[in-house]
Structure 1
Amino acid sequence: MSRMLYELSGIDDELRFSPFCWRVRYALAHKGLDVKTRPWRFSEKEAIAFSGQGQVPVLVDGDEVVSDSFEIMRYLDRVYPDKPLLGGPEAEARARFFKHYAERSLAPGMMRTIVMDLYNAIHPDDRAYFRTTREKRFGRALEEMHSPAKGLSMLDQALAPLRGRLEESDYLDGDAPGAADYLLFGNFMWARTVSAADLVSNADPVYGWVERMLDAHGGLGRRAKRIVDIDGAYGQ
């Protein structure tokens, strides 16, 4: 059975930066499922029109088409029950907390820290769309939104619950990474791929978790192309 994952790409087709797509990449690796990936840009809505919506990730698994990172995780557990990601209904409900924690607590501080790096990492054809949609969402210009000092302070406070758990265990889901880890780590991959900003100090328990997650599944995250790997791209 052929699988295809449509992923958001930047100024280089191999620069894949969406936190939601990274959740799915780790979930597929967790299941041991091979997948081909296809780069996609904001300006290419027609390329995923078959999915009935306009955002990635989109997973095509044979005749099945699934969008939304959490729904893809649910689909993978249903169709490929070995090595469960979410578990039963109660575990799935708990996993939704981590989804919202990542999106509502971690993402804002990261965004304020890296937003201009992110803008520069986006393909030039997508920048007008990104600026227009994000400035409408933020209620301010990207340049006004960009405040690394403020962003890092926000992130430091938001990471307190994560630190508490990582002081008890190597991973959020115990001795090995699971859905909770992937739901949060997607945000760290988002920042890592588009920016050289240091989000946490190496004395922080979160730092050790990030390093373990980068090495998980054969170094899936560590092998990913970053903006700093592209000649002349960073800081343009």
Structure 2
Amino acid sequence: MTRKLYALCGTDRTRPFSPHVWKTKLSLAHKGLGFDVAPIGFTEIPKLEQGATKIVPLLRDGEKLVSDSFDIALYLEEAYPERPTLFSGEGGKAMARFVEGWSQMTLHPAIGRIAIMDIHDSLEPVDRAYFRRSREERFGRPLETVAEAGKTDLETFSAKLEPLRHMLKFQPFIGGERPLFADYIVFGALQWARIVSPHRLLATGDVVSGWFERCLDLHDGLGRSVTAA
């Protein structure tokens, strides 16, 4: 059975950049499940699978369609219980929910401002127009003004990683000795930045950099299959 993962890309369809898609890519690899990537642009999302979703990732697994990276992870855990666990029990699910909230409320907004023009410039013209319109409506100001504010985010980003930095003093992964879905959540955010923007958010020698490098090496180097910007 061929699985299809719809993944958000820019002009270069070999460089999927969505943080949520990367969570799912590593989740599928963690489970040892093969899949094909179907690259799409922003404006193609409403047309997928007869309007099945407004967001990506969207996974087709046989007759099953699942969207939202966390829902996909829960589906994979239930559908393939004999394969390596993504959560290691209910506590792992609860931990992943907390990590997701921290990542999306703390890391994502900062990365979004830091990389906003890099994302815009990587898109096809039709997607650039959509991206500018939708993000300027969201922020209430021009993209260029958002990018200017992103300079402060770049200066303060390292401090946002302090909770992760503290945890990694005691264990190699958020999941403990081995990665779990919680690791893929944070990895997805930092991989997004790595792929779309030349700005480097992690300092050499930082314990978080070491963790990120270990995550890039997971599953036969899946994270390294797309080079840094």
Task: Report the TM-score range of the alignment, normalised by the length of the smaller protein.
Answer: over 0.9
Q: Which runs of 5+ in 1 are unaligned?
A: 229-236
1:123 to partner: Cα distance = 2.0
> How many residue pairs get matched?
227
- Counterpart of 2:114 in structure 1 is 113
Determine the C-alpha separation between the residues in 1 that align with 2:175 and 2:119.
30
1:224 to partner: Cα distance = 1.1
1:126 aligns with 2:119: no
CA contact (8 A) 1:16 1:225 kept: no
- Counterpart of 2:189 in structure 1 is 187
Evaluate the alpha carbon distance shift between residue 51 and residue 80 of structure 1 in structure 2; reply closer, same or farther with a 3 A threshold.
farther
CA contact (8 A) 1:171 1:177 kept: yes
- Counterpart of 1:197 in structure 2 is 199
Determine the C-alpha separation between the residues in 2 that align with 1:40 and 1:176.
32
- Counterpart of 2:174 in structure 1 is 172
1:197 to partner: Cα distance = 0.9
- Counterpart of 2:210 in structure 1 is 208
User: What is the one-letter code of the residue matched to 2:11?
Assistant: I
CA contact (8 A) 2:45 2:54 kept: yes
Determine the C-alpha separation between the residues in 2 that align with 1:145 and 1:46.
26
Secondary structure of the residue aligned to 2:114 is: helix
1:74 to partner: Cα distance = 0.1
Secondary structure of the residue aligned to 1:38 is: strand
1:5 aligns with 2:21: no
Evaluate the alpha carbon distance shift between residue 154 and residue 50 of structure 1 in structure 2; reply closer, same or farther with a 3 A threshold.
farther
1:137 aligns with 2:138: yes
CA contact (8 A) 1:117 1:195 kept: yes
Determine the C-alpha separation between the residues in 2 that align with 1:178 and 1:192.
21
Deviation digits for residues 116-170 of structure 1, max 9, x if unmatched? 1111112222001111111111122111111343112342221110100111111
1:53 aligns with 2:21: no
Determine the C-alpha separation between the residues in 2 that align with 1:181 and 1:90.
14
1:45 to partner: Cα distance = 3.2
CA contact (8 A) 2:45 2:56 kept: no
Once the two structures are overlaid, the 10-residue window that deviates more, 170-179 or 14-23, is 170-179
| TM, length-normalised to structure 2 | 0.94
CA contact (8 A) 1:165 1:172 kept: yes
Determine the C-alpha separation between the residues in 1 that align with 2:62 and 2:138.
36
User: What is the one-letter code of the residue matched to 1:173?
Assistant: G
Moved over 3 A (4+): none
CA RMSD of aligned residues (A): 1.5
Determine the C-alpha separation between the residues in 1 that align with 2:74 and 2:224.
26
Evaluate the alpha carbon distance shift between residue 48 and residue 79 of structure 1 in structure 2; reply closer, same or farther with a 3 A threshold.
same
Determine the C-alpha separation between the residues in 2 that align with 1:182 and 1:129.
28
User: What is the one-letter code of the residue matched to 2:20?
Assistant: F
Deviation digits for residues 81-123 of structure 1, max 9, x if unmatched? 1211023333212210111111111112212221111111122
Determine the C-alpha separation between the residues in 2 that align with 1:78 and 1:19.
23
User: What is the one-letter code of the residue matched to 1:15?
Assistant: R
| TM, length-normalised to structure 1 | 0.91
User: What is the one-letter code of the residue matched to 2:73?
Assistant: M
Once the two structures are overlaid, the 10-residue window that deviates more, 135-144 or 70-79, is 135-144
1:203 to partner: Cα distance = 2.4
Once the two structures are overlaid, the 10-residue window that deviates more, 121-130 or 45-54, is 45-54
- Counterpart of 2:73 in structure 1 is 73
Determine the C-alpha separation between the residues in 2 that align with 1:167 and 1:93.
22
Determine the C-alpha separation between the residues in 1 that align with 2:59 and 2:177.
28
Secondary structure of the residue aligned to 2:223 is: coil
